[in-house]
Amino acid sequence: MEKITIRQAVPEDANFIAQVVCTAIASEEGLRSYCGEEYPKVIAQIAEAQGTQYSWENALIAEVDGKPAGGIVAYDGALLHPLRSKTWDIIEQHTGKRPNIADETAAGECYLDSLAVMPAFRNKGIAKALLLALSEKVAKMGIDYVGLLVDADNEKGQSLYKSVGFTYVNDSDFLGHKMYHLQRKTS
C-alpha cells in the first residue's frame, strides 16, 4: 500500500506547483495567451514568490512514498485583488501586458484555484485527500467555506467535488465557459 502524505508547500516546490497549475488549466493556448511562450517558467516564478495567487504559501503538496504526486492551490477570496496584482506584475515583466480577467471569487470563501494529480498517481484517492486537507487548513484560517468553479461540462470533476461535500451555489461564466460555483463548509 502506497503512503499518501499531504504537506504545506515550500519555495523549492515552485516548479511542481507550476506543473499542477498548468495541468489544472489544461489549455496551452490559454496559458500562452496570458503568460507568453515560456508560461511554465512564468508560473514557476509566480509560485516561488510570496503574495501571489499561485504562491507556495497557498499550496499543499501530496506525496506518494516521498514523490510529488499532486497539488492544490487555494487562497482567501478576500485577498484576490492584492494576490492578483502581484501575479499580474510578474506576468507583465515577461509579456509586457497585464491580463484582464473577471473576478472568480470574493470574501467569504477560500478559493480553490487549481487541483491536479499527475497521471501516474491518478485513481488512488489523492485528489480527495488534498480536498479534505485543504478544508482542514481553511477551517484553521477561520474561513467557513472552500469555493471553486468547475466547468459545467466536467461531470467527473463535479462528481469528485460532490463526493467530499461540495454543493452547488450558482452558475457562473468564466473566461467564456459556463461554470458552476460550488462550495464546501469547512466545519
CATH number at 83 reads 3.40.630.30
150 occurs within a structural domain: no
71 occurs within a structural domain: yes
151 occurs within a structural domain: no
Q: Identity (one letter) of the amino acid at 16? A: F
Instruction: Determine how many CB atoms are found less than 10 A away from the CB of residue 44.
Output: 21
Identify the CA nearest to 120 among candidates 79, 69, 82, 157. 69
Residue 165 has φ and ψ, to the nearest 5°, of 100, 5
The residue range of the domain holding 51 is: 4-144
85 occurs within a structural domain: yes
152 occurs within a structural domain: no
174 vs 169: CA distance, rounded Å: 15
13 occurs within a structural domain: yes
Higher pLDDT, 75 or 101: 75
Confidence at residue 170, expressed as pLDDT on a 0 to 100 scale: 86
68 contacts 118 by C-beta, under 8 angstroms: yes
Confidence at residue 1, expressed as pLDDT on a 0 to 100 scale: 57
β-bridge mates for residue 185, sequence order = 145
- What are the tens digits of pLDDT across the range 59-97? 999 999 999 999 999 999 999 999 999 999 999 999 999
178 occurs within a structural domain: no
- What are the tens digits of pLDDT across the range 50-59? 999 999 999 9
Number of domains forming the structure of the chain: 1
78 occurs within a structural domain: yes
pTM of the model: 0.94
